[in-house]
Amino acid sequence: MKTILITGCSSGFGLETARYFLERDWRVIATMRTPREDVLPRSEHLLVRALDVTDPQSIRETVEAAGPIDVLVNNAGVGLLSVFEGTMLETVRATFETNTFGAMAVTHAFLPQLRQRKAGVIVNVSSSTTLKSLPLLSVYTASKAALNAFTESLALELLPFDVRVSLVIPGQSPETPFARNAMAMMRDQNVIVPEAYSGFAQRIFERITTQRSGPFTTALDVAEAIWRAVNDPSCPIRQAAGADAVELAQSIGAP
Ligand SMILES: NC(=O)c1ccc[n+]([C@@H]2O[C@H](COP(=O)([O-])OP(=O)(O)OC[C@H]3O[C@@H](n4cnc5c(N)ncnc54)[C@H](OP(=O)(O)O)[C@@H]3O)[C@@H](O)[C@H]2O)c1
């Protein structure tokens, strides 16, 4: 039985991916900042663990508790919709701490065992905002674009060790609490809209947050793309996940 460890399993794509692999007879280590046993079906093949990807001690404890794993999915992420000028550098850093450095830190911690066994897959969950730039997403997009670049270079470095590294690039998914969580984070971090940008920012906020018609991405689209990245060695390194992301990737000639 193979083992997958997924970050950010309390909701959304991570939760669905944990469920998807459990149903297909994988041993799943579902990690989340605040462990909750009730979000996933009870199973002897499920281990729910606390993991904050920005906390080195938490990462060390997770590596010890996990033992050997076959697959790592860096899914944990935070959103940020903000005017750059109204965003404190502290908030910029906090976004990168989770979306970019968090994924790097967890990868760094699990890599030695994958390299030594000459087997394994690392899947990083990015965003379709890296395919087409949108306003108010400069920081979020930069954090995910850095993740893309990191992933693609690391993939080449790990080729000699038969460790595959790939990207899943989801589109917009209103079914997950991602936007709500982003809004809460923005309130906590005192993100403001400078007066000079207010009319412009308002229009963009409305367009993004009230868009009702699809196509959109579902959590299942993302779980399926992760499944393919893990189980199909011929899978391309970048996979768009969700009808909107696939459409966007095709429109710009991206794979
Ligand atoms: N939904 C979208 O429209 C969309 C589109 C493209 C890409 N994505 C990406 O997809 C991934 C999953 O997003 P989602 O839509 O499933 O949103 P979500 O439901 O908000 O899931 C995000 C997960 O990340 C976790 N997380 C946040 N900070 C963390 C940290 N420091 N350490 C560990 N876990 C942390 C959250 O846990 P807590 O419960 O502890 O906060 C939550 O479980 C993210 O990387 C996101 O950037 C989302």
Q: Which domains does the chain have, with CATH numbers?
A: 3-251 (3.40.50.720)
Q: Give the residue-averaged pLDDT of 107-130.
A: 98
Q: Is the whole model's pTM more than 0.95, yes or no?
A: yes
The pLDDT tens digits for 222-252 are 999 999 999 999 999 999 999 999 999 999 9
Nearest to 43 by CA among 65, 28, 33: 28
Q: Give the residue-averaged pLDDT of 211-219.
A: 89
Q: Are 179 and 11 in contact (CB under 8 A)?
A: no
CA atoms within 13 A of residue 14's CA, in its CB half-sphere: 27
CA of 196 to the centre of ligand 1 (A): 31
Q: Give the residue-averaged pLDDT of 1-20.
A: 98
The pLDDT tens digits for 197-212 are 999 999 998 888 777 7
The pLDDT tens digits for 170-196 are 999 999 999 999 999 999 989 999 999
CA of 77 to the centre of ligand 1 (A): 4
Q: What is the pLDDT of residue 211?
A: 74
The pLDDT tens digits for 126-162 are 999 999 999 999 999 999 999 999 999 999 999 999 9
Q: What is the pLDDT of residue 212?
A: 74
240 touches ligand 1 (CB under 6 Å): no
54 touches ligand 1 (CB under 6 Å): yes
CA of 61 to the centre of ligand 1 (A): 21
Supply the mean pLDDT for the chain.
96
